[in-house]
Structure 1
Amino acid sequence: MSAERGQPALVRICDLAGRARGSGFPADGLGTVITSHEAVDGLTRAVVHAPGDRTFLAEHGDITPLPEWDLALIRTTGLGLAPLVIGAERPCDTGTRVVFDADGRLEAALTGTVAATYTSTERYHPLEQVLELALPEATCVQLRLSRRASGAPVRDATTGAVLGVLGTALHAPGRTACFAVPLYAAGVLAPAGPLGVLLRRNGATVPGFGPDLNLAGTLQLTATSVGPAVERCAHAVARPEIAEEFAAFTESGATVVGLVGDPGTGRTTELAAFAARRARGAAPEPTVWLRGADLRAGDGSVREAVARALSGAARIIRASRAPGSGPRAGEPCAANPDVAARLARDAKRPFLVLLDAPEEMPPQLAHGLRQWTVGTSSWLRASGARMAVACRPEYWEQAGALFPPDLLYAPRKTGT
């Protein structure tokens, strides 16, 4: 899910007397809200108001304070809000346009990062890196006095992804600007902490694309790529011995596996079944489907074909959206295969390329098969991606010998 760029799903945070304390936004499908620490500082209970007159009373145990970053997390239920995409790591270049909602929509430009201090009711908290927002001094004064501005998500004006959280109690010597806490940087410094865990959950469940491509976006793109093949083989008879070999390959340290057989022996069906198994469960794994005919004469490796498959999937997703639904945060577009594979590797869900019938590759590419295999091996090794090839015995006899031996899976049984 992702929220529309022009209409973010925000909540208001109040004390029990109904006084506004700040804003926040949903970050996952479980109802976790991210806000500033200022919004809950000194409160043992807080009331969270969502659009449509929905409210949630957050008890003390529902609030996770993170004063060292001027942030707080609130566990809610029943608000029914779509989470926002949290932006990936990126350089915060001077001039990057951002938007946020604080008693109305405001636009600003980032002027870089600076060190700042957050003063809570208990102590001072130095922050080494916060985002500086270029705004008129009078606007900054109004924001510091506002009861709703604190905790508002600061979003990339182009993609809609959340880059930071506005903190109206952040101060930097000699500067009159406003500041926001960069979420990605805060999560990286404590990956096992509550914020780091939440950011990984956001990345795995709320699709982001373009500069904010995340694991969920990668899964959506690859599911679009592999979906038709899986559907065609949905009712095929299972062959447990092949499934066991693929499972052993998955658990091994090998990178490339060959499924060898003549046409009509069920090679394509078994690849599709493998893809379907990877797509199931609580932790689905990204899989791209290619045929030899998808390769092109000028390709230096399988990477180029993967890039085309991901771009084609993005076009399908864009075309399938309902007319008039409005722009979405993180519009699907061409995805970098290196980034997609790295995201999958970091999540311990390896990116898998399924190459069916490589014999169909263009003759020019077949004549340079050694060079193509060297390039493919290098990309697989560098990216952490893996590949399963379904082909004729005579093709594998030639092509399999071109892969470095340490990349190849050694089958326990004949046929793979």
Structure 2
Amino acid sequence: MATAAQALLHTHRRRALDDLTEALADSAHRRGDELLAVLAEEEPSAVCRAVDRWAHDERPARRVAAVAYGLRAAPHVRTEDGRELLRYAALALLARPADCTLHGGALALLVRDPRTRSRHLPQALARFGEGDPQVPASALATALASHPEPVLEAFQARLRRPGPDVGEVLRTLADVTTPALARRVATLVREVVELRPETADHVAAYVERRLEQGLASRAVLLPLVGGLLDGGPPEVRVALTTVLAAPGGAESGPLRHELLGLLLGRERDPAVLVALLCAAADGARHSGEQHTRELVRRAGLLLVRTPDGATRFDQALVELGRRVPGFAPLVARWLTREPEAWAAVVGPSTRRMIENLAGVVRVPA
């Protein structure tokens, strides 16, 4: 019933938007919150009007809503009228000392506004540095072009400190594409992952996001990823390998292939090469058979140079054959078509296990 009502409200929302936003705020229902979030994107002017009303409302819950939906609407506001409403709402909230828990969000709104940014940026940076969740990284990122030094310093300090928001900060920084700023961000990213290797997955996600921006990110990613592949901690190289061997979108293909070539030319750590094998198997359905075969064979040739590596390769191949649908038949087909090419890579017992998993009669030994 709630879903049907949500769809109905969304369909007819233009009939009385101000009444609708008030009714949704009154509902205190999860679906109402979801629809308000949609309206913040699709009808930001109406939500800005609501935020202005709520910021001046004597009911605390309304002022909380003003911050929450002001922050949601702000990235989608394109008119001076909308920015003005958010500006006045934020200033009204700051004028209430008792609402100190809302001041971080109000400052974030003011930092997004070019007219009030310079005055309120120091306070916003201080709040961000203290870990205030209402000052999102995306709000500060809007000030990077005009105030690069203090904003980058704030991001650097936040990333150096353990906390749950590293991923959010790096996702935001991945969208910084101005060449000069992007290079400085890349330096910051390398510094944080070398200082805190446990951020490897977040840094890999940053690389993934930048890869999908295409060759425009090559000047930044080539030295960053190349440097990390050459001397970064093993867990960082594992995380990067998983990203580089993933299928990705069409825009990322050429750069992903180039960086993968760097990896294959340098990497000898069995843990990283097994990660390459796993990523190839997991992405086989989308990467295509030829690409998958090449990655699996290259990983195998590098791993079998040592007894430990050969054992790991066999174990991983069988485990992936069990876990990844369609992978065992794929490998069995390669072994059948090119037995000589795979003879030095896949041992007899592993071949038999692949045969059993694939359900084929025989894989040539």
TM-score range, shorter chain: under 0.3
Q: Computing the radius of gyration over CA atoms, which structure comes out larger, 1 or 2?
A: 2
Using CA pairs below 8 Å that are at least 6 residues apart, which structure has the higher relative contact order? Answer: 1
Which structure dedicates a bigger proportion of its chain to helix?
A: 2
Q: TM-score, normalised by structure 1?
A: 0.25
